[in-house]
Amino acid sequence: MRYSQLFGKTTKSVPADADSINAKLLTQGGFIQKEISGVYNYLPLGLRVLTKIQNIIREEMDKIGGQEILMPTMTQEESWVTTGRHTMDVLFHLKGQGGTNLVLNPTHEEVVTPLAQKYIFSYRDLPFYVYQIQNKFRNEARAKSGLLRGREFNMKDLYSFHTDEEDLNRYYEIVKQAYHAIYNRLGIGDITVLTFASGGSFSQYSHEFQTLCDNGEDTIYLCEKCKLAINKEIIDVQKTCPECGSDNLKTVKAIEVGNIFKLRNKYSKAFNFYYSDKNGQEKIVEMGCYGLGPSRTMGAIVECRHDDKGIVWPTSIAPYQIHLIGLDLHDEKIKSQSEKLYQTLQEKNIEVLYDDRLDVTAGTKFADADLIGIPQRLVISKRSLENGGVESKKRNEEKSEILSLNSLDKLI
């Protein structure tokens, strides 16, 4: 992609209403643009990052048997009356034709349970797992912190259906491992911990995944030895590490990037969702649900992977793999070498953002590259050509090296 043609521009001035580091850097870098409070447009750079996060999640969900579906954004309110959740104050309400009452779904238990019920009748149909990646709507009393707490946000939600609790427990552990795999691939595995969460009013057991970050909104209590934590809501009940029993828990700030619940039969009961077991007996279906928000995770990654110059994207989700800069492109030799390298990288299917702007000084291009945060920078300039090729520098390192234009295979 040529930077000169990219929709979305960097800006020096900080948006006055950017309330957090992720909102500030993502807006300044041209990744997102706020529409209304808690609702964002994703520009090309931002959508590339979001899509990469989604695809990593998608691959890991597929690996554990998840089948991707897409459920609707809006649903009749009646389904919510069935579960008693129509009184939730985060629900967006709207009117359909003829005055029907509709809601914008803040989550999809009320949709997926009746949906599954249309196809599941026997123990032979269980277990099974479906997920979707879709935008959700929650009319938060107060949206804040950029992508961390919006009113419309992107969410992956996986639902599992089982014959009994034992099978639910088995799959619950599998999902835990899948989540760890996802955070590892997203570049935050080392700072994301499993947290024992409060059960809440309708789940007997749940966990959160918290990414440790000084800017985090949540406070958790971490056992550094076990890399396990418990959250504020249950610290009063349990003051020791759930794994080793240690009471040496460290108080740290964190951002919740995932949560998983054993729903048991709360929703299957509400919708009368039963199956026939081997003996022809009616049994209640056991359910689990597992959330992981790509948009929020994107914001969390910026919160914990940045420096004073800009974002430092992990390679796996960077919008492009290489940020190619041509300096002084009025010089024919520099221009032709830059264009040639750009073509070569594209032919080798390497994602490259090429700063081909003519009348922009070196300082501006470097500053923009640091702000955008692509992990690998390549510079072609008079100096680099005199030194034998192209200068290579990683975003998270200070040192640079000269690579020969003829031996780019090493880089690639």
Q: Tokens for 303, please give them.
A: 């919160």
Cα separation, 308 vs 370, whole angstroms: 9
Q: Does the protein bind RNA through residue 273 (CB under 7 A)?
A: no
> In this chain, which stretch among 76-84, 242-250, 342-350, 366-374 interacts with RNA, using CB under 7 A?
366-374
The 3-class secondary structure across 187-222, one letter per residue, is CCHHHEEEEECCCCCCCCEEEEEEEECCCCCEEEEE
| Spatial contact of 92 and 103, defined as CB atoms under 8 Å apart | yes
Cα separation, 59 vs 291, whole angstroms: 15
Q: How far is the CB of 247 from RNA (least distance, A)?
A: 25
DSSP state at residue 149: B
250-264 and 218-223 beta bridge pairing: antiparallel
Using CB under 7 A, pick the residue from 272, 362, 401, 412 that binds RNA.
362
Q: What is the CA radius of gyration of the chain?
A: 25
Indicate the residue among 107 and 344 with the shorter CB distance to RNA.
Answer: 107
> In this chain, which stretch among 84-92, 96-104, 183-191, 341-349 interacts with RNA, using CB under 7 A?
84-92
Size of the site for RNA (CB under 7 A): 65
Q: Does the protein bind RNA through residue 335 (CB under 7 A)?
A: no
Using CB under 7 A, pick the residue from 101, 114, 128, 140 that binds RNA.
140
Q: Does the protein bind RNA through residue 313 (CB under 7 A)?
A: no
Binding mask 221-260 for RNA (x = CB under 7 A): --------------------------------------x-
The maximal CA–CA distance of the chain, rounded, in angstroms, is 82
Cα separation, 400 vs 109, whole angstroms: 52
Binding mask 276-295 for RNA (x = CB under 7 A): -------------x-x----
Q: Using alpha carbons only, what angle is made at residue 203 by residues 200 and 204, rounded to the nearest 5 degrees? A: 100
> In this chain, which stretch among 56-64, 275-283, 340-348, 381-389 interacts with RNA, using CB under 7 A?
381-389
Q: How far is the CB of 137 from RNA (least distance, A)?
A: 11
Using CB under 7 A, pick the residue from 71, 360, 403, 411 that binds RNA.
360
Indicate the residue among 60 and 109 with the shorter CB distance to RNA.
Answer: 109
**DSSP element (H, E) containing 135:** strand 128-137
Q: How far is the CB of 209 from RNA (least distance, A)?
A: 14
Q: Does the protein bind RNA through residue 94 (CB under 7 A)?
A: no
Q: Does the protein bind RNA through residue 24 (CB under 7 A)?
A: no
Q: How far is the CB of 151 from RNA (least distance, A)?
A: 9
Q: Does the protein bind RNA through residue 370 (CB under 7 A)?
A: yes
Binding mask 107-126 for RNA (x = CB under 7 A): x-x-----------------
Cα separation, 272 vs 293, whole angstroms: 29
Cα separation, 74 vs 408, whole angstroms: 51
Q: Does the protein bind RNA through residue 90 (CB under 7 A)?
A: yes
Following DSSP, what letter does each residue of 1-68 receive, concatenated? -BGGG-SS---SSPPTT--SHHHHHHHHTTSEEEEETTEEEE-HHHHHHHHHHHHHHHHHHHHTT-EE
How far lies 94's CA from each of 75, 89, 192, 217, in Å? 10, 14, 38, 31
Using CB under 7 A, pick the residue from 54, 163, 192, 203 that binds RNA.
203
| Spatial contact of 276 and 120, defined as CB atoms under 8 Å apart | no
Indicate the residue among 180 and 335 with the shorter CB distance to RNA.
Answer: 335
Residue 128: helix, strand or coil by DSSP?
A: strand
Using CB under 7 A, pick the residue from 60, 152, 303, 391 that binds RNA.
391
Binding mask 339-358 for RNA (x = CB under 7 A): -------------------x
Indicate the residue among 168 and 185 with the shorter CB distance to RNA.
Answer: 168
Q: Does the protein bind RNA through residue 395 (CB under 7 A)?
A: no
Is the omega angle on the peptide bond into residue 127 within 30 degrees of 0, that is, cis? yes
User: What part of residues 44-73 is at the interface with RNA (CB under 7 A)?
Assistant: none
Residue 122: helix, strand or coil by DSSP?
A: strand
Burial class (CB in 10 A: 0-12, 13-18, 19+), 47: middle
Indicate the residue among 308 and 347 with the shorter CB distance to RNA.
Answer: 308
Residues in touch with RNA (CB under 7 A): 10-17, 19-20, 28, 34, 36-38, 88-90, 106-107, 109, 138, 140-145, 149, 200, 202-203, 206, 259, 261, 263, 266, 289, 291, 309, 327-330, 358-364, 366-371, 379, 381-384, 391, 393, 400
